[in-house]
Amino acid sequence: MDDMADRMTPATDERYRRITAGVPRLSDSELRDLLHNGFGVSAVDTRPLAGETDQNIRVDNSYVLKVCSADDLVAVRFQNALLRHLASAAPDLPVPRVVGDVIAVPSRPDLVARLLTWLPGTPLAEAGRRSAELYADIGETAGRLAAATASWQHPQPPPAHYWEFPHARTVLASSDVAAEFLPLLDRLPTLPQQVVHHDLNAFNLLVGPGPRRRVVGVIDFGDAQIAARVTDLAVLCASTMRGQPDPLRVAAALTAAYHRVCPLTSAEVDLLYPLVAIRAATVAATTARLAAGREHGDPRHRSPAAADLVRSLAAIPADVGTATLRHACGFPAHRNTAVVTDWLATAAASSVVDGHFGQLDLSAGSAVFDDADPGDSAALLAAESSAILAARPAVGRYGEPRFASGGALRTGVDVFADPGTPVSAPLAGTAEVGADLVLRHEPAPGVRFWTIYTGLSTSVAGEVAEGQRIGVVGADGRLTVRVSVVPAAGWLPESVGPEEAPVWQALLADPTPLLGSAWRSVTESTLKARERHLPHSHPTYFSEPVTMVRAKGCRFYDEYGRGYLDALNNVTLLGHGHNRVVTAAARQLSRLNTNSRFVYNVLTEYTEALTATLPDGLDVVYFVNSGSEANDLALRMARYLSGRDDVVIIEDAYHGYTATVADVSPSRYKHYGKPETTHPTPVPDRYRGDYGHEDPQAGAKYASHVTDTFDRLAADGRAPAAFLYESLLAGAGQIVLPPGYLAPIHTAARQHGAFTIADEVQVGFGRLGEAFWGFQTQGVVPDFVTMGKAMGNGFPVAALVTTREISEAFDRAGRFFSTYGGNPVACAVGLEVLRVVDEERLQHNAFTVGQYLRDRLGELADRHDLIGDVRGQGLYSGVELVTNRVTKEPASAETLTVCERLKEEGVLVYPTGPAWNVLKLKPPLTFTRAHADELTEALDRVLEAGW
């Protein structure tokens, strides 16, 4: 676009002179007199606005005064009539209202003026990041506007103007788009015609405040004209795409939304992409010419982004652009795809290569990559290359997302064979000249397609018979066979991203009737199987669940090979697939795995290492398989030893799924009723509760609710058996216990003969940073400590630890035995976890990185009002989202949406809390500052874009 101005024609273009002539210049006093005498408005504040041909003045945030040449009177009356029609026919459309009529300017007979209402809002061009919902609303608003003007007519249509599409022939007569797209303008008269806005650019669309931004204004009807309906959408797309990282996706979103409310014809959609390119080139060329001549023009449009968009569009083949927009509207992406695939499905083709070729899986779930670090692209490529060499001869699947290529889907079938392997034509065809061998096939009337052979050593030319040898596999040992429904060219890719795949797979159709097989996602079938065989109450994460196939460190990888930063999984304490834990488990499993009634050294090694992390006296370990079982056993022991049934808990707690612990978990018993023996006490929440962060006695005051409950129960003759608590409240919304909370409770519990049970299932093993166990942050020693989840880094290991005195008293209840609890593999894994936490200083990492993460999140709170509170300890944090910081109304729906959007950004978090309005952040302890930056920057993007 650098020489765009030089290619403008001709210098005598009268319409160009009109947009560069400048705007009228009435003085402030003249404007105020005009407002007062002509419209009865006594202005207090007047401010100039940008304009191409009109002098635009904002008046008291209530009106816009527009002054223009009297030569434009016909157009101005047309615009006023159109706005009056919209006010009547579509009153919900946010367009200006006309105030009074068009009047002559008394001091300037060559000028006329009119008054419109002012619409508040931010121009889309200045609104920052945009959400998918905003794009949808923009497209739907444009469609509603088109529907409202579809049948409206006016006796005096406005004269032609510079920005009309037919005028692009003059503007772009010698430009790069002239030969390809300008001839298509001849189709415009054959398309549906109506009055259109014709300037739905990003400065004429006003949006409201975030995060739920929507269109609140459509302004500047100065270019309104009778034209092909689809030109309005083309203008909208060309402007809104500007400056966006994926402009074609923006165009697809706008087009889909427009089509939902104002259905387009197939012929309109076929012409839309060329019109977008023409409009973009027209704006860029005009911008360049204005800049070169230092001429008047609307300064808001003078942006390098105009030329950048033209360059981006030039890199997108027209077939791809049109196919993308057709797909967005629900039309077949290409008209020929079904014809070609139907013919191929029944065709009798010859073999491309002879002999048996096995199938080689190179997707993310393949065993090929089991020994490679998924975060090391070089290691993945090396693993792929080794597998190919070992597997030859083999074929790779069509549509397979290759893990070593970042999940890019193959658009053909790969043949991995020794160089020199003969290759034959599966069908008769005609060879075409190109870097690859291309055969054109026309096997039946109306059926035309091309086969492309990349990596073939060949000299074939002219007509080729079915089964004829066309060459041999080249030196790389890889032949890629593709089928194209469009003329083959160098721009046809061998791999595409998952989001582009539906369109590209319509252009580069499935070649497996000729060779090989196709990859298919297992998500749909897996979800159906879950529906058949799992309880409906068994949830999945996210509205569109992700099928995970592997994980390493702090990342998951889905079936497409896409990585996701894991910020929610506190089970894998050391990170996924930690090599030392994997080795320990495999070694012990191959050596010995049995039950704990047999004697084996790893059991005692582990118990000694585990109890060494606890206060003196807590040295008897009961091994089980889950945190629920550990809590169940603790309550059974407390009730047996005390002879009591009542248990005091904290409201909104969760302690597991067995019948016993469900009865002391409000999030569970709320579905069937609170048992009489369960006594919840207030959550010690210093953000929402009665005693806040500003109260230094908050801990003691919250504790008094618990001790008062002890006293009340004792007075009623039913003193409690136990007080069960989480050391940091997870289900209650990541609530950090206030200082001084547990100490008076423990003292009162001892006085009443009640046992104290610290549920460390969620937060133990150094996660809180400042201490190895959560209860240690409060300076107390409980009677029982329960643990699980992170204990085995994903392997099922859990335990209850108590004192010898308590254990011996419980012995009277009979033998304790858990078949799998404390098995050799579980102990070997648990022991290695403790060693890694110590040797890699992960507790210290939790402390420093956790604080860094909360500091970064606190910075976001300064910019985003949705964030009400940031809290946590170590690598266990919560971000509470509220719709109003004063009332603290929970932003429950917004929180779930934020999690969904973060997933799209490649970051996994999920809601928690009674109102599900808290982002729970509990990543592996190997989480780094770089990971914290990645998380907060993604959250910042999501909150800025809104929804």
Q: Which of 272-281, 427-436, 626-635 has the lowest mean pLDDT?
A: 427-436
Specify the residue for token string 């074609």: 248
Residue-wise pLDDT tens digits, 361-382? 999 999 999 999 999 999 999 9
Residue 469's pLDDT band (boundaries 50, 70, 90)? very high
CA gap 475, 488 in Å, rounded: 23
Give every CB contact of residue 245 below 8 A, 6+ residues apart in sequence: none
The half-sphere exposure of 100 on its side-chain side, counting CA atoms within 13 A, is 20
Q: CA angle, corner 239, sides to 234 and 245, nearest 5?
A: 110
**Cα dist from 16 to 8, 24, 290, whole Å:** 11, 17, 10
Contact of 622 with 629, CB cutoff 8 Å: no
> What does the pLDDT read at residue 725?
98
Q: How far apart (Å, rounded) are the C-alpha atoms in residues 369 and 745?
A: 53
Residues 793 and 570 sit within 8 Å (Cβ to Cβ): no
Q: Indicate the DSSP class of residue 576.
A: B
Check residue 3 and give its pLDDT. 45
The confidence score (pLDDT) of residue 294 equals 81
Helix (H, G, I), strand (E, B) or coil at 221: coil
Q: Is the dihedral of CA 4, 6, 10, 14 positive or negative?
A: positive
Q: d(Cα 318, Cα 312) in Å, to the nearest integer?
A: 12
Q: How confident is the model at residue 414 (pLDDT cuts 50, 70, 90)?
A: very high
- Answer for the pair 510, 398: CB distance below 8 angstroms, yes or no: yes
pLDDT at 177: 75
High-pLDDT (> 70) share of the chain, %: 98
- CA 148 to the chain's CA centroid: 34
Assess whether pLDDT exceeds 90 at residue 261: yes
| pLDDT tens digits along 473-489 | 999 999 999 999 999 88
Q: Which two tokens stand for residue 487?
A: 């003329």
pLDDT at 1: 38
DSSP conformation letters of 643-679: T---EEEETT----SSHHHHTT-HHHHTTT---TTEE
Which residues have CB under 8 Å from 468's CB, separation 6+? 424, 425, 460
Within 10 angstroms of residue 627's Cβ, the number of other Cβ atoms is 27
pLDDT band for position 300 (cuts 50, 70, 90): low
Best CA proximity match to 507, nearest among 361, 318, 752: 318
> Is the confidence at residue 32, as pLDDT, over 80?
yes
| The pLDDT of residue 174 is above 90 | no
Structure tokens that stand for 407 in this block: 């999940």
- The dihedral through the CA atoms of 546, 626, 578, 842 has a sign that is positive
Longest dimension (CA), the chain: 109
As beta bridge partners, residue 755 has 722
Query: What strand order describes the sheet that includes 548-552?
Result: 548-552, 555-558, 563-566, 907-908
Q: Is 710 helix (H, G, I), strand (E, B) or coil?
A: helix
Residue 377 identity (one-letter amino acid): S
pLDDT at 18: 87
- Given a contact cutoff of 8 angstroms between Cβ atoms, the answer to whether 473 and 458 are in contact is no
pLDDT band at 435 (very low <50, low <70, confident <90, very high): confident
Confidence (pLDDT) at 156: 95
pLDDT of 2 strictly over 50: no
* Structure token digits, residue 101: 């009529």
926-930: long-range pairs with CB below 8 Å, 24+: 926/553, 926/554, 926/574, 926/575, 926/840, 926/842, 926/845, 927/554, 927/567, 927/845, 927/849, 927/853, 927/875, 928/554, 928/845, 928/849, 929/849, 929/852
Cis peptide before 393 (omega within 30 of 0): yes
Q: What is the pLDDT of residue 489?
A: 80
CA angle 716, 720, 726 (to 5 degrees): 140
Whether the CB-CB separation of 932 and 852 falls below 8 Å is answered with yes
pLDDT digits (tens, 9 = 90+) for 757-784: 999 999 999 999 999 999 999 999 999 9
Chain Cα centroid distance, residue 586 = 36
Give pLDDT tens digits for 601-629: 999 999 999 999 999 999 999 999 999 99
The DSSP bridge partners found for residue 410 are 495
Read off the pLDDT band of 907 (50, 70, 90). very high
Helices and strands of the chain, counted as H and E runs = 27, 41
β-sheet bridge partners, residue 787: 799
Distance CA 377, CA 386 (A): 14
User: Distances in Å between the alpha carbon of 456 and those of 421, 423, 501, 872?
Assistant: 10, 8, 25, 60
Q: What is the pLDDT of residues 680-731, one digit of tens each?
A: 999 999 999 999 999 999 999 999 999 999 999 999 999 999 999 999 999 9
Q: How far apart are CA 542 and CA 354, in angstroms?
A: 46
Tell which residue, 387, 367, 328, 317, has the closest CA to residue 139.
Answer: 328
Report whether the peptide linkage leading into residue 211 is cis, meaning its omega lies within 30 degrees of zero.
yes
Closest CA to 250 of 305, 186, 187: 305
Burial class (CB in 10 A: 0-12, 13-18, 19+), 711: middle
Whether residue 6 is predicted with pLDDT greater than 50 in this model: the reply is no
4 has pLDDT over 60? no
The pLDDT value recorded for residue 303 is 77
Pairing of strands 907-908, 563-566: parallel
Which H/E stretch holds residue 583?
helix 579-591
Mean pLDDT to the nearest integer, 920-931:
98
Q: Looking at the predicted structure, is the pLDDT value of residue 238 above 70?
A: yes
Cα separation, 54 vs 326, in Å, equals: 38
pLDDT (tens digit, 9 = 90+) per residue, 38-97?
999 999 999 999 999 999 999 999 999 999 999 999 999 999 999 999 999 999 999 999
Q: Residue 283: is its pLDDT beyond 50?
A: yes
Spatial distance between the Cα atoms of 702 and 740, rounded to a whole number of angstroms: 9
**Per the structure block, which two tokens stand in for 499?**
């989001």
pLDDT mean across residues, the chain? 95
CB-side neighbour CA atoms (13 Å) of 219:
24
Is 439 within 8 Å of 450 (Cβ atoms)? yes
If you write DSSP's letter for every residue of 840-884 in order, what string do you get?
TTHHHHHHHHHHHHHHHHHHHHHH-TTEEEEEEETTEEEEEEEEE
| Span 580-591, pLDDT tens digits | 999 999 999 999
CA distance 882 to 870: 12
Answer yes or no: is pLDDT of 826 > 80.
Answer: yes
CA–CA dist 109, 307 (Å, integer): 40
Query: 788: number of CA atoms within 13 Å, CB side?
Result: 22
